[in-house]
């Protein structure tokens, strides 16, 4: 009996060893398989080049951005055309150098762009257009033929408009406008001369027997020195006033800061700034 029991025990132990051995084998195989799987997962990452990784990151970022909500669009403001007419007098061709002619035509282009994007666009006229100004438009700014809401007129302004409606903007005038009158026609001298020709626009208004006035710059801001304003700056000030009905805001938004003396207090006298260039 003892021999039989001993055999049973030995058989049981052998069976247990086999079972344990099989389990260990399964566990070992499982670990090996997991290791292999991990290596398979890591291998593509290791094989990616720097450019491929960057591309993958960009793709992920794009996917995240695509799923996010786009920012709300700003409501489009429909322009309300003004009845005001603004004339740029181009009768000073012979007084400018070629470089100044080039600068003037660039300023005229900026006037057109400002009017096109304005909330209160005006009726814009270029009178006495000819000579080197017209030649430069024909050769360097040929797209001007597609400009809208601007009229190129070879005739002088006296042949185009009623004299009683004309106001020449010049700092040499004794009168100062407080607001723009939609029944009036405002003239800006189309001249770039670094202030060589003193009082030329005022004298022209006197010769043509038309009204003159200056912008109320000195009532709202102070300029660092007696410096001229570019043609497009004067034009943009008119456009901004029509939008804001606020001279100070229009001046500060348009006049370059280098020309402003922001440290001084405002005065009530009229600043002798020349608004024609």
* pLDDT (tens digit per residue) in 102-120: 999 999 999 999 999 999 9
- Closest to 193 in 3D by CA, of 157, 231, 155, 225: 231
Q: Is the pLDDT of residue 18 over 50?
A: no
pLDDT for 267 equals: 43
| Whether 252 contacts 205, CB under 8 Å | no
pLDDT for 12 equals: 46
- Closest to 104 in 3D by CA, of 148, 136, 145: 136
Q: Binning pLDDT at 50, 70 and 90, where does residue 225 land?
A: low
User: Out of 193, 246, 269, 274, which one is annotated catalytic?
Assistant: 193
pLDDT for 6 equals: 52
CA 185, CA 160: separation in Å to the nearest integer?
11
Give the CA count within 13 Å in the CB-facing half-sphere of 170.
Answer: 25
Average pLDDT, the chain: 81
89 in active site: no
Neighbours of 131 (CB within 10 A): 15
* pLDDT (tens digit per residue) in 173-196: 999 999 999 999 999 999 998 778
Terminal alpha carbon distance of the chain: 129
pLDDT for 30 equals: 53
CA 218, CA 230: separation in Å to the nearest integer?
17
Q: Among all chains, which residue has been given the structure tokens 């304005």?
A: 118
Among the ranges given (27-36, 234-243, 254-263), the one the predictor scored with the smallest mean pLDDT = 27-36
* pLDDT (tens digit per residue) in 211-221: 999 999 989 99
pLDDT for 137 equals: 96
Q: Binning pLDDT at 50, 70 and 90, where does residue 155 land?
A: very high
Q: Binning pLDDT at 50, 70 and 90, where does residue 20 land?
A: very low
* pLDDT (tens digit per residue) in 43-99: 444 567 878 887 888 887 777 766 666 666 667 778 999 999 999 999 999 999 999
CA 107, CA 2: separation in Å to the nearest integer?
121
pTM above 0.75, yes or no: no
Q: Is the pLDDT of residue 268 over 50?
A: no
């Amino acid at each position: 009996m003892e021999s039989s029991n001993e055999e049973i025990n030995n058989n049981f132990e052998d069976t247990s060893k086999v079972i344990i051995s099989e389990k260990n084998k399964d566990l070992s195989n499982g670990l090996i398989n997991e290791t292999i799987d991990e290596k398979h997962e890591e291998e593509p990452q290791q094989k990616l080049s720097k450019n491929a990784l960057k591309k993958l990151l960009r793709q992920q970022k794009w996917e995240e951005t695509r799923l996010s909500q786009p920012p709300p669009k700003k409501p489009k403001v429909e322009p309300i055309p003004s009845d005001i007419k603004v004339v740029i007098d181009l009768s000073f061709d012979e007084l400018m150098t070629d470089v100044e002619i080039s600068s003037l035509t660039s300023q005229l282009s900026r006037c057109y762009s400002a009017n096109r994007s304005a909330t209160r666009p005006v009726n814009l006229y270029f009178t006495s257009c000819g000579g080197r100004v017209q030649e430069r438009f024909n050769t360097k700014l040929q797209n001007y033929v597609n400009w809208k809401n601007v009229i190129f007129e070879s005739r002088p302004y006296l042949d185009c408009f009623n004299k009683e409606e004309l106001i020449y903007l010049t700092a040499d005038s004794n009168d100062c406008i407080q607001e723009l009158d939609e029944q009036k026609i405002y003239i800006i001298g189309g001249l770039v001369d670094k202030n060589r020709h003193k009082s030329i626009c005022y004298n022209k208004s006197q010769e043509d027997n038309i009204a003159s006035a200056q912008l109320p710059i000195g009532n709202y801001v102070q300029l660092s020195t007696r410096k001229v304003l570019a043609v497009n700056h004067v034009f943009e000030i008119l456009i901004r006033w029509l939008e804001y009905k606020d001279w100070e805001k229009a001046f500060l938004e348009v006049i370059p800061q280098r020309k402003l003396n922001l440290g001084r207090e405002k005065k009530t006298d009229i600043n002798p700034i020349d608004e024609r260039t």
